[in-house]
Amino acid sequence: MTATVSTRPLSDGSDSLLRFAMRADATLCAGLGLLLAMAADPLARLSGLSAASEWLAGAALVAYGSALYAMASAPLVRRVGVGIVVANVMFAASAISVLVADVLPLTGVGVAMVLATVAATLALAYVQYLGVRRLA
């Protein structure tokens, strides 16, 4: 009597774009977070925020990037991908709202940094959206 073990591949090929986009998002978030945390003082002088807030934002991005990288290997990646797309769009809308409301003491460079982050977030959200659509 022989035993057969049936395994299914982690990725069936149709989810590769979504997994790639999620891992790219994770890598960029963690990398940017490390940069923010390591260069908190000089970036604080440029952006208008405190060094502590720059460091906290960096630490949060590293944590988010690590979690997102792990979530990219989930078996039901479509469900996770939809949540990430929604979260990215909500983050971008929140960041724009903060800029419009002028609640932070940002310099011109700080505003440009936030707008660049929003643009990158929306670009990654769009690629993730395409990956989710491919699975539908």
Quote the CA–CA distance of 1 and 124 in Å, as a whole number. 51
pLDDT at 1 over 80: no
What are the residue boundaries of the structural domains of the chain, listed by start? Answer: 16-135
**Above pLDDT 70, what percent of the chain?**
90
Q: Is 42 exposed, middle or buried (0-12, 13-18, 19+ CB in 10 A)?
A: exposed
Of 130, 116, 38, 136, nearest in space to 84 by CA: 130
Quote the CA–CA distance of 59 and 55 in Å, as a whole number. 6
Hunting for tokens 């997994």 — which residue is that?
19
* Amino acid present at 52: A
Q: What is the mean pLDDT of the chain?
A: 92
At 56-91, the pLDDT tens digits run 999 999 999 999 999 999 999 999 999 999 999 999
Q: Rounded to two decimals, what is the model's pTM?
A: 0.86
pLDDT at 7 over 50: no
- Integer angstrom CA distances of residue 63 from 27, 33, 67: 11, 9, 6
Out of 1-15, 20-34, 112-126, pick the least confident: 1-15
**Above pLDDT 90, what percent of the chain?**
87
Look at residue 2 in the predicted model and tell me its pLDDT.
63
**Higher pLDDT, residue 58 or 15:** 58
> 48's torsion region: left (phi>0), alpha (psi -120 to 50) or beta?
left
